[in-house]
C-alpha cells in the first residue's frame, strides 16, 4: 500500500480543486503540457534522492524496507514528479519532502487528502484590515465597560469591570501598534 504526492512548479494553484483539475487533465487526457518545465523541479528531485535514496540503491529487501520511503522510486522530470510513498514511511521523510518542495517554491498536492502546499497559498498576506477591525471592536467593548463600570456602587465589582475594560483598550492599542510596526511582533 502507498500514497502519492504530486509535485510541480507551474502553474501555481491556490485550491485543491485547481490542483485536482490539473491532475485530471494530466492523467486522464494525457496532457503533459499542463505543467511547465522548470529547473527547480530537477533540483528538488536531486536533493530529495540524496536525502531519501532510490530503492535500487539498497542491497536487500530488508534494508530497503527499513530505510526507504518509496514504494516505487520516483522518475526524474522537469514538469511533474509523482512520489509513491509507502504507508509506513517515517514522518520525518515525508516532512523532508514538504520542506524541499517549499524550499524550491513548488506545488505539492496530496490527492488522497486532499491537501495542498503551494507557494501562493502558503504565502498569502495576513488580513490586516480584518485584524484592525477586530482590535477596534475589542477597544470599543473595553470603553463600553469602563464608563458604566465606574458608576457601579460596589467597589470590587466596579474595579473588576473597569480593569477588564482597560485591559481590552490596552490590548487594542498594542495590537494596532504591532500591526503598524511589524518588527515588534513576537518571533
- Total domains in the chain come to 2
Q: What is the C-alpha separation between 83 and 91, in angstroms, rounded?
A: 14
Residues 15 and 38 in one domain: yes
**pLDDT one-digit tens code per residue, 133-153:** 888 999 999 999 998 888 899
Residues 145 and 63 in one domain: no
Residues 28 and 74 in one domain: yes
Residues 85 and 163 in one domain: no
Q: From 122, 152, 169, give the residue that closes a domain.
A: 122
Structure confidence at residue 146 (pLDDT): 92
Residues 94 and 169 in one domain: no
Q: Where are the beta strands (DSSP E) in 26-165?
A: 70-72, 80-86, 107-110, 115-117
Closest by CA position to 179, among listed 135, 147, 137, 142: 135
Structure confidence at residue 182 (pLDDT): 63
Residues 93 and 150 in one domain: no
Domain containing residue 45 = 2-122
CA distances from 133 to 137, 169, 171, 183, 185 (A): 6, 14, 13, 21, 18
Residues 157 and 84 in one domain: no
Residues 102 and 61 in one domain: yes
Residues 88 and 6 in one domain: yes
Residues 75 and 28 in one domain: yes
Please check the confidence at residue 164 and state whether its pLDDT lies above 90: yes
Residues 27 and 98 in one domain: yes
Q: Is residue 118 a contact partner of residue 151, using CB atoms and an 8 Å limit?
A: no
Provide the 10 A C-beta neighbour count for residue 168.
Answer: 21
Provide the 10 A C-beta neighbour count for residue 135.
Answer: 20
**pLDDT one-digit tens code per residue, 74-104:** 888 888 888 888 877 777 788 888 888 888 8
3-state secondary structure of 86: strand
Residues 70 and 89 in one domain: yes
Amino acid at each position: 500500500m502507498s500514497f502519492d504526492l504530486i509535485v510541480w512548479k507551474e502553474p501555481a494553484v491556490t485550491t485543491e480543486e485547481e490542483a485536482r483539475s490539473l491532475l485530471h487533465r494530466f492523467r486522464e487526457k494525457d496532457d503533459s503540457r499542463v505543467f511547465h518545465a522548470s529547473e527547480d523541479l530537477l533540483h528538488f528531485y536531486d536533493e530529495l534522492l540524496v536525502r531519501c535514496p532510490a530503492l535500487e540503491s539498497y542491497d536487500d529487501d530488508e534494508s530497503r524496507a527499513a530505510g526507504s520511503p518509496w514504494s516505487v522510486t520516483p522518475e526524474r522530470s522537469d514538469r511533474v514528479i509523482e512520489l509513491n510513498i509507502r504507508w509506513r514511511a517515517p514522518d520525518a521523510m515525508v516532512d523532508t519532502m514538504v520542506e524541499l518542495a517549499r524550499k524550491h517554491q513548488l506545488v505539492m498536492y496530496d490527492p488522497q487528502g486532499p491537501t495542498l502546499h503551494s507557494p501562493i497559498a502558503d504565502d498569502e498576506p495576513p488580513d490586516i484590515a480584518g485584524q484592525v477591525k477586530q482590535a477596534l471592536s475589542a477597544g470599543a467593548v473595553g470603553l463600553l465597560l469602563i464608563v458604566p463600570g465606574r458608576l457601579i456602587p460596589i467597589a470590587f465589582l466596579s474595579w473588576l469591570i473597569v480593569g477588564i475594560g482597560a485591559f481590552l483598550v490596552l490590548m487594542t492599542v498594542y495590537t494596532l501598534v504591532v500591526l503598524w510596526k511589524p518588527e515588534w511582533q513576537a518571533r
